[in-house]
Structure formats: C-alpha cells, structure tokens
Amino acid sequence: MAILIRGGTVVNHDWSRRADVLVEDGVIVAVGPDLEAPAGAEVIEAGGAYVLPGGIDPHTHLDFMFMGTVSADDFEWGTKAALSGGTTMVVDFCIPGPGQSMLSAYQDYRRKAERATSDYGFHMGVTGWDRDTFNDMETVVKTYGINTFKHFLAYKGALMVNDDELYHSFSRCASLGALPLVHAENGDVVFRLQERYLREGITGPEGHAYSRPPEVEGEATNRAIMIADMAGSPLYVVHTSCRQSHEAIARARAAGKRVWGEPLIQHLVLDDGEYQNRDWDYAARRVMSPPFRPKEHQASLWAGLQSGSLHVVATDHCAFTTEQKRLGAADFTRIPNGTGGLEDRMAVLWTAGVGTGRLTREEFVAVTSANIARILNIYPRKGAVAVGSDADLVVWDPAATRTISAASQISRIDYNVFEGYEVTGLPAVVLSRGKVAWIDRELRAEAGDGQYVPRPAFPAVAVADAQWRELNAPKRVERIDVTP
Ligand code: URP
Ligand code: ZN
Ligand code: ZN
Ligand code: ZN
C-alpha cells in the first residue's frame, strides 16, 4: 500500500524544504519535488502544511503499578492519545516489582503492551544491586534490545537506589554500551522534608512541592553526573525541571562529559502556583515529581533547549484519575505522583516554542524526535523524514487551533493539566509506519498496530572515554637508577 503526501514542506532537525514524501510498505521510499503517485496510491494533499517526523516520547508510564494503584492510561489508550497528538512512538519504563527479576518484568511489560497502537520500546529499571542484576543486564541489552537503564534517586523505601548501587550499575552500563537514566531528586532529604511539613500540619498538595525544592534536584543531578563520570559512563537526566539541575548538566557538558537533559512539557509552561489552588482536587491532579516550579525556572529550561544544553521534551505521562489522587486526601505523600500530557506535548510545545520564536521549526523536530532517536540509537529509522526511515509522519497544520479540554481528550482520566490552554498548530494527518492513524480529527489506529522497537547497544562513547582515560591514567615514572 502506497501513500503520497503531496505539497508540503518537509522539516527535519537539520534541513527543511518543499518536498513530497512517498511511502510504501511502511517505509519512506522517496522525498523530493513533484513525485509521481504510483497506480493505486492514496494521495494526501498537505496543502502547504509541514511534514514532520512523528514525535517520540521517551518518558511514559502506561499501565504502571505505582504508589498503591495503577496508572489509568494503558498501552492502548496511552498510545491512542499519543497518535492523536502527533507522537508515533513511546518509550515506557519496565520497572521490576519488589523481588521481581528484570527478565520477568520484561515479559510482563511485553504482554501489557500487546494492544499498543503506536510503536514502543522500554527502558529497564534498576531498583537494587546484586549478582542477578549484574547478569540480567547483559540479557536485557543483548537479547531484549533495551539499551537504557533507569535509576531512581528518589522514592525512598520503594524504588530508590543509593550511591554504591548507582556506581555499580553505571559501571555495568559502561561495559555493556548502555546508557543510564536518572530520576534525580535526593530521596533522603525529600523524606525528611515530608516528615517536617506533615508535622507542621501541611497535609495538602502544596506540601508535595515544599518537600521537593529545586535544591534536592540540583544536588542529585550533580551527584549522578559525577558518579557517572567516575564510572566512565554517559548519563541521561529525565524530567529536568529547574535551573539548578539544568546548570549541573550545562557545567558537565562544558567539561566534556556526555550528559543529556530532558525537560517535560508541563515544566515548560506550568508553575508551582497550581499547588496553591483552594480546590484540593485541582492541586492534587498536578502532583508529580519533580513538582511544577516557580516561573523563573521555565526561562532556564527554554534557554537550555535553545542553546543545546537540554535536548528532549517529554511528558512523563503517568495519568491518575481524581479518584486515584484522593488516596492522598489526608496526606500529600500518598497522592499518586504523575500527570498526563501525551496528546498535548507537540501542540503545546509548538505553540509556546515555535509560536513565540523561542524555537525554530527544526529545533522543534530536534527536541520532539530527532535528538532522542539519536540518543537511543534508533536514528534514522525513527526521527527523520528520509528515504529508508519508518513512515512515522505528521502533516502539521500550523494554523489549526484548539482549546485543550478533558471533555474532548482521548486519555482516560477526567481532567487535563492544560485545561483551557489554546494551541495553534496541530496534526492534520498522522501516519504510523505507513498506516493512517489520525485524520480529520478522527482516530483510525487500532489496538495491536504498534510494534516493539529493539535498540542495539552503542558502546562508542564508553570505548572512547576508556581510551582517553587510559591515555591519561596515573603512571609510574621510570627513573635512572640511583644507588643509595
Ligand atoms: O511523578 C511522577 N513523575 N511519576 C512517575 C514516576 C516518575 O518519577 O517518573
Ligand atoms: Zn521520575
Ligand atoms: Zn568522562
Ligand atoms: Zn517518569
């Protein structure tokens, strides 16, 4: 089945021009001016709109058992929401349960994802350290095609790992050619601050933000960067939400360390004033970690995206209903942490980024797909409008408008943190591996359309780093023998 997208302007991270795009059997077979439609091909008129690589959201938690409940969007509905917003691939987190092996967790997640409508992959969680973990990591990389391992420096008593565990795991990542990811918040300090605010009678959602100030994130980001460096490993910092964390990343990069940072769309446009809302439900629905920050942090995150010291805009989509949020009615530490954003990421970023001149169209493509495809070693299969790439394509109408509202969303939750936000710029047509998934504001994707995307290890960074270290390692000085 062939599809010709005609009359658009192709936008990649590194070039843009007027060009048609021809797709056959799920793959892009031609990009250029005035392409001929093969007999029987479906022709989509782009009408001067942009043709972008499908978005990749590298940070979602679909069907995730967390804080005593399970996130409300599963792989079917989460990926439907994604496709409707122009995101054609998600990378979710395979987090082993207490006492569960990585290998068994992987089987569980593959089963959960069978009904995915878009392509997907996984990061593997490292929640402790022992001989089995060391061994299983090799299978995860070489057999399962997962080249990223996630570490939580927060969630004390649950997912949190300590510095010794981090050092072991980062070293193992380096030797396997895998990339470690960190959720960087100092879980010990958060735990004490939570105790303190509860003691002072602050039991509502504002306590969540007070107990996780930017300093706990800045400290943990810096620590993870230094430990990764000592272990000879690159590092990817998820949900970079504040100036302190961004500065730690920028400093590390200026010193030659391979460190990448991922702001979320929520942190770019929403601030901590949300937690002061008098309506408990309203504030609790916005509880996520790290929390929304004072406005001035947003300028730092935007600056990072502009200058290249931050690289990827994700969502951390981990949606809980109002009813689920009420598990923490008497105690903010029990409010399930997480917000949604999968269907709105692209449109909100286009509006707040490209629509204001903070980002170019090419930079938009870089931070929504191309950069993460390169970081995850799936470029240019994903993240590019190029011959041979998967036909994950978005016909992007820069003039289309919509007011975001839970009433018209695909996500299964009963609210939207962007409620009332007016976007200009929306997907008109979305192709997922050559199949029309979204057109005329209607979803055509079906459960099971999505495929698992394995990602090979990429040892080049660790090999180069080891070579440089060897060259510069302390060495014994050979001296002319002087007899005493
Ligand atoms: O609050 C959040 N971010 N929930 C999902 C789990 C995580 O920390 O990423
Ligand atoms: Zn996290
Ligand atoms: Zn280094
Ligand atoms: Zn997350």
For 378-429, the pLDDT digits (tens) are 999 999 999 999 999 999 999 999 999 999 999 999 999 999 999 999 999 9
| Rg value, the chain, Cα | 23
Q: What mean pLDDT is predicted for residues 49-78?
A: 98
pLDDT per position as a tens digit, 262-275: 999 999 999 999 99
Cβ < 6 A, ligand 1 pocket: 61, 183, 288-289, 316, 318, 337-338
pLDDT at residue number 62: 98
Measured distance CA(288)–CA(208) in Å, rounded: 8
- Spell out the domains of the chain, with CATH numbers in brackets: 52-442+450-461 (3.20.20.140)
Q: Ligand 1 pocket test: which of 61, 69, 334 has the largest number of ligand atoms within 8 Å of its C-beta?
A: 61
pLDDT (tens digit per residue) in 187-208: 999 999 999 999 999 999 999 9
Other Cβ atoms closer than 10 A to 483:
3
Q: If you average pLDDT over residues 235-258, what whole number do you get?
A: 98
pLDDT at 481 over 90: no
| For residue 484, pLDDT beyond 80 | no
Ligand 1 closest atom vs CA 155: 8
Residue 40 to residues 43, 112, 296, Cα–Cα distance (Å): 9, 37, 54
Q: Per-residue pLDDT for 338 more than 80?
A: yes
Q: Give the residue-averaged pLDDT of 297-323.
A: 98
Determine the residue of 185, 275, 288 to mutate for testing ligand 1's pocket, defined as the one with the most ligand atoms within 8 A of the Cβ atom: 288
Tell me what pLDDT residue 255 has.
96
Distance 161 CA to ligand 3 centre (A): 22
Atom nearest to 288 CA in ligand 1: 1
Q: What is the mean pLDDT of residues 49-73?
A: 98
Query: Which pLDDT band holds residue 460 (cuts at 50, 70, 90)?
Result: confident
Instruction: Give strand pairing partners of 403.
Output: 422
Give pLDDT, residue 59: 99
> What protein residues have CB closer than 5 angstroms to ion ligand 2?
183
pLDDT of 234: 96
- pLDDT > 90 fraction of the chain, expressed in percent and rounded: 96
Confidence (pLDDT) at 261: 98
Q: How far away, in angstroms, is 332 Cα from ligand 1 center? A: 15
